[in-house]
């Protein structure tokens, strides 16, 4: 047994290595406020920020490079320059220029709260304007699109913006980098790494409008896209940290993270911005073609906000709470309402699926409306968040109608309305599953003019839930959502929106052309006007429209770069948006996943059917390999009862602190005075006089 007399989650402050650090020669103070001082190097546009609260000095670049750093001339210039660019010639050949190794001209204008620097790189005749200003929380770096010009024969491909901000040498400083992979992932500072390449992650996943489609491998687990445009770095837990929030420009941004030992001895991470890409344009049906540059430069503004923390807030929980504060300031997250009643349970039911019989399709009823009502009545709670998947004529992989038309073998519309009313009276909800962006390849339900077009004039396609999908233009998506909202609301039903929460693509069809940034803004406006709704894995720009978050990641992608997964996203959303984990009947380790639900505050979910899955083995829904309620009833009862005992007392409360006092033991504090301790180990652990059994979780008073 492991015994700990007491536990205090606030990390004791340690002496800062940078406290009282001197400002190097070449820097001048250009702005100050109550918390920070800003210093500028006019030759490189590098800047430093002195945190008056702690005395810590943050640097945007390397000032000195030693022979032991083993940086070549290109890397030295990259590390010492505020801005570096990649530019392309007409043949798509790419070169890099940094301020300190390329001919250039800089014009600096001092502002009341910072400075503006305009850099013109001579050879490519490309100009970039950057504005750096102090805020009450830190420093805002902006690059307006109006301040970018391409006056020569070259095109701006990528912009590297202060890539070495906060960089550390190997393990000289204890700490880690935070990336928003899955639930959140840490990369610890170390002397070396087993990784061989940097981490590259496009926010919100790849742009299918630039690719057409991505190859899909059903035998591999896809990685999580970066769903929130943030990253962070901690220089010693309990000492100093910063969170970078990309307020504008995330649709064309890529996060790069470099652990020490890959190319250099430095740990650094930053956002790269994409203005032009090359692509392969077929010229005939045999596959011949040419590589060309996109015809128009991506038009978007960049606003990147560095927010500084110190003391007890300097850890990944503090970074999450800082992001939460920002979202509250922006009106994305709203003051939580007091939660009452039982812990909610999400259950998605598969209604019907279809199979081919000779020359036609026939529907296979998997869960009728009456059977669904019977299962709901038998569940361990009446507060059920119900989603009905495959409700449409011929079932799940058939085209979705714009009107509310139910597959006849499942029951009547009236029966569905009565069930929805019963569920609502018991404190739950009934929503119909829809994917508004997706049509099914070679099926009806959309016209060719409604399909989005990639830059190479191919249709934009993907694979989801066993279906080959073709993705639609914004007007078609708008029509679908407006039609469903009206039809469903009249029957007392909600919408559970899949796809649109995490799928973001450009559209190059002439009549509906939109780049990725314009699509992002359009989806925000669309769901703001039609929400709040339940969303599957929504990206951060749609959290303001989310009534519930489905399929919250409870881990990371398992990259070789990363040290461990942490509940960054759950901490941001806890108490503001209820979030549910992935269906537990698909878990490869149910006991481990139940502990992770308790640790991360995620509500339980199941995907169920009345019939056994053997009935649909020959259909495109054979990815649902176990779902029969008769087989899962006992596990549903056990899992819900176990999680309700732990999470019920904290539902609706925000997470305020988290610690791992021992390997395999996690302690999370909530704003309502409750504490959840999760023991992942195989031996009992005693904390402050309370014994936590092995592989179990308990709720305590703080």
More confident residue, 615 or 13: 615
Closest CA to 643 of 557, 539, 554, 569: 554
Q: Token pair 């537990």 is at which residue?
A: 584
Q: How large is the average pLDDT for residues 256-261?
A: 94
Q: CA 67 from chain center: how many Å?
A: 39
Token pair, residue 682, equals: 């195989």
Q: How confident is the model at residue 288 (pLDDT cuts 50, 70, 90)?
A: confident
Token pair, residue 436, equals: 């508004």
**What pLDDT, on the 0 to 100 scale, is given for residue 73?**
93
Q: Which residues pair with 253 in a beta bridge?
A: 273
Q: What is the pLDDT of residues 360-392, one digit of tens each?
A: 889 999 999 999 999 999 999 999 999 999 999
**What pLDDT, on the 0 to 100 scale, is given for residue 70?**
81
Q: Which CATH architecture has domain 28-329?
A: Distorted Sandwich (2.70)
Token pair, residue 499, equals: 């796809």
**What pLDDT, on the 0 to 100 scale, is given for residue 283?**
78
Q: How confident is the model at residue 519 (pLDDT cuts 50, 70, 90)?
A: very high
**What pLDDT, on the 0 to 100 scale, is given for residue 16?**
35
CB 38 within 8 A of CB 29: yes
Q: pTM score, two decimals?
A: 0.95
**What pLDDT, on the 0 to 100 scale, is given for residue 339?**
67
- Residues 360 and 218: their CA atoms lie apart, in Å, by 27
- pLDDT at residue 4 greater than cutoff 70: no
**What pLDDT, on the 0 to 100 scale, is given for residue 220?**
76
Cα separation of the two ends of the chain:
22
Q: Token pair 């307006």 is at which residue?
A: 144
Q: How large is the average pLDDT for residues 653-667?
A: 95
Q: Where are the domains of the chain?
A: 28-329
Q: Which residues contact 345 (CB under 8 A, 6 or more apart)?
A: 379, 380, 381, 383, 384, 385, 603, 604, 605, 606, 640
- Residues 496 and 649: their CA atoms lie apart, in Å, by 27
Q: How confident is the model at residue 338 (pLDDT cuts 50, 70, 90)?
A: low
DSSP 361: E
- Residues 679 and 688: their CA atoms lie apart, in Å, by 14
- Residues 204 and 226: their CA atoms lie apart, in Å, by 5
Beta strands in 596-684 (DSSP E): 605-608, 655-662, 665-670, 674-679
Determine whether 312 is exposed, middle or buried from the number of CB atoms within 10 Å of its CB (0-12, 13-18, 19+).
middle
**What pLDDT, on the 0 to 100 scale, is given for residue 337?**
67
Q: Which residues pair with 181 in a beta bridge?
A: 226
- pLDDT at residue 2 greater than cutoff 60: no
Q: Please report which helix (H) or strand (E) contains residue 636, including its range.
A: helix 629-647
Q: Which residues pair with 266 in a beta bridge?
A: 169
Q: Which residues pair with 296 in a beta bridge?
A: none
What average pLDDT does the chain have? 94
Report residue 77: phi and psi, to 5°: -65, -40
Q: What is the pLDDT of residues 392-420, one digit of tens each?
A: 999 999 999 999 999 999 999 999 999 99
Q: Please report which helix (H) or strand (E) contains residue 175, including its range.
A: strand 175-179
Q: What is the pLDDT of residues 5-62, one digit of tens each?
A: 445 454 433 333 344 568 999 999 999 999 999 999 999 999 999 999 999 999 999 9
More confident residue, 687 or 571: 571
Q: How large is the average pLDDT for residues 493-503?
A: 98
DSSP 569: H
């Amino acid at each position: 047994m492991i015994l700990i007399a007491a536990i205090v989650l606030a990390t004791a402050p340690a002496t800062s290595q940078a406290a009282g650090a001197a400002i190097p020669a070449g820097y001048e103070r250009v702005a100050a406020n109550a918390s920070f001082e800003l210093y500028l190097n006019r030759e490189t546009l590098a800047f430093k920020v002195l945190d008056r609260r702690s005395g810590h000095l943050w640097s945007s670049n390397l000032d000195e490079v030693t022979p032991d750093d083993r940086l070549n001339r290109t890397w030295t210039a990259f590390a010492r320059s505020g801005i570096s660019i990649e530019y392309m010639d007409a043949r798509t050949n790419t070169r890099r220029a940094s301020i300190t190794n390329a001919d250039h001209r800089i014009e600096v204008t001092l502002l009341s709260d910072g400075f503006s620097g305009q850099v013109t790189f001579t050879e490519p005749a490309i100009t970039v304007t950057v504005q750096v200003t102090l805020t009450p929380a830190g420093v805002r770096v902006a690059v307006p699109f109006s301040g970018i010009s391409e006056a020569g024969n070259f095109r701006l491909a990528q912009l590297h913006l202060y890539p070495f901000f906060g960089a550390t040498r190997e393990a000289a400083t204890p700490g880690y980098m935070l990336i928003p992979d899955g639930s959140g992932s840490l990369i610890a500072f170390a002397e070396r790494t087993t990784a061989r390449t940097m981490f590259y992650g496009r926010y919100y996943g790849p742009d299918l409008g630039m690719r057409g489609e991505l190859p899909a491998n059903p035998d591999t687990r896809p990685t999580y896209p970066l769903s929130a445009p943030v990253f962070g770095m901690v220089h010693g837990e309990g000492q100093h940290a910063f969170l970078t929030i990309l307020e504008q420009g995330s649709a064309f941004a890529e996060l790069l993270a470099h652990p020490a030992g890959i190319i250099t001895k430095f740990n650094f991470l930053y956002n790269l911005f994409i203005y032009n890409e090359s692509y392969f344009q077929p010229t005939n049906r045999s596959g011949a073609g040419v590589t060309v540059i996109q015809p128009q430069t991506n038009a978007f503004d960049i606003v990147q906000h560095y927010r500084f923390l110190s003391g007890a807030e300097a850890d990944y929980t503090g970074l999450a709470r800082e992001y939460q504060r920002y979202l509250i300031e922006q009106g994305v997250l709203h003051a939580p309402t007091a939660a009452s009643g039982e812990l909610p349970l999400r259950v998605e039911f598969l209604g019907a699926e279809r199979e081919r019989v000779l020359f036609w399709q026939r529907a296979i009823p998997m869960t009728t409306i009456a059977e669904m009502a019977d299962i709901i009545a038998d569940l361990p709670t009446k507060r059920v968040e119900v989603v009905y998947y495959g409700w449409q004529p011929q079932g799940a992989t058939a085209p979705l109608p714009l009107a509310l038309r139910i597959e006849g073998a499942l029951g009547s519309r009236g029966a569905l309305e009565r069930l929805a009313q019963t569920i609502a009276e018991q404190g739950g909800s009934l929503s119909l599953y829809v994917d508004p962006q997706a049509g099914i390849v070679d099926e009806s339900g959309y016209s060719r003019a409604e399909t989005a077009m990639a830059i190479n004039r191919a249709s934009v396609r993907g694979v989801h839930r066993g279906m080959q999908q073709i993705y639609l233009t914004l007007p078609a998506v708008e029509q679908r959502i407006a039609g469903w909202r009206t039809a469903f609301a009249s029957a007392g039903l909600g919408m559970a929106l899949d796809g649109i929460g995490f799928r973001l693509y450009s559209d190059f069809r002439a009549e509906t052309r939109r780049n990725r940034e314009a699509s992002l803004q359009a989806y925000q406006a669309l769901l703001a006007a039609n929400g709040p709704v339940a969303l599957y894995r929504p990206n951060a720009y749609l959290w303001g429209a989310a009534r519930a978050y489905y399929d919250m990641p409870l881990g990371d992608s398992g990259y070789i770069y990363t040290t461990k997964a942490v509940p960054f996203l759950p901490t941001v959303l806890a108490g503001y948006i209820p979030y549910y984990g992935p269906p537990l009947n698909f878990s490869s380790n149910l006991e481990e996943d139940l502990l992770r639900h308790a640790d991360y505050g995620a509500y339980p979910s199941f995907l169920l059917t009345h019939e056994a899955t053997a009935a649909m083995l020959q259909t495109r829904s054979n990815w649902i390999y176990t779902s029969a309620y008769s087989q899962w009833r006992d596990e549903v009862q056990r899992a819900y009862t176990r999680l309700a005992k732990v999470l019920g007392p904290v539902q609706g409360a925000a997470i305020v602190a988290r610690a791992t006092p021992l390997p395999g033991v996690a302690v999370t504090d909530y704003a309502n005075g409750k504490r959840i301790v999760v023991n992942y180990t195989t031996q009992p652990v005693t904390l402050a006089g309370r014994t936590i059994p092995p592989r179990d979780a308990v709720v305590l008073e703080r």
